[in-house]
Amino acid sequence: MSAQENLLFTSNLISPEVQATLPKGYTIRPLASDDYERGFLDVLSVLTVIGNITKAQFLERFFYLKAHNHEYFTLVIVSPQNRIVGAGTIFVERKFIRNTGLVGHIEDIAVDKNQQGKKLGLRVIQALKYIGAKTGCYKVILDCSEKNVPFYEKCGFQRKEVEMAWYC
């Protein structure tokens, strides 16, 4: 498999400006099919319970997302030690309203506990906003806890309306 085939989506959607502002030795790129071994799921564990996901389960989900990679964009930040230290996703929803407009939904933003406070979270969000703009979204939205509001305000978001949830 070539390096590009191994990636969830085209690297052309990765902001060159965001790459240029990362600390030395860090890279930002689409999720890769071998990121299971680089600790992708460990990084997500700062968010919530992950479960015992096998490599086969990871790959099944990865290739589903890759088959829909005009809608799902998961990107990662890789450390100089070749470990995943940051991750985030934008899901591009196709609507009827707003003249068949597109809305970007930011999900599952995570930075490794030992790497927080280095602006990696900010870079993940900037890179996801870039994808939202490039794919033609008219807005990008997200849900977060009260405690994360100041972080998202620093990323250029403003408080709007209320999140509701129903658990099946």
List of residues contacting ligand ACO (CB under 6 A): 46-47, 106-111, 116-122, 142, 144, 147-148, 150-151, 154
Q: Which is closer to ligand ACO, CB of 102 or CB of 119? A: 119
Q: Which residue has the closest beta carbon to ligand ACO? A: 121
CA angle, residues 16, 76, 4, in degrees to nearest 5: 70
Q: How far is the CB of 102 from ligand ACO (least distance, A)?
A: 18
**In contact, 15 and 127? CB cutoff 8 Å:** yes
* Whether 163 contacts 146, CB under 8 Å: no
Q: Of the two residues 100 and 114, which places its CB atom closer to ligand ACO in the complex? A: 114
| Shortest Å, Cβ 152 to ligand ACO | 8
Q: Of 81, 135, 61, whose CA–CA distance to 105 is shortest?
A: 135
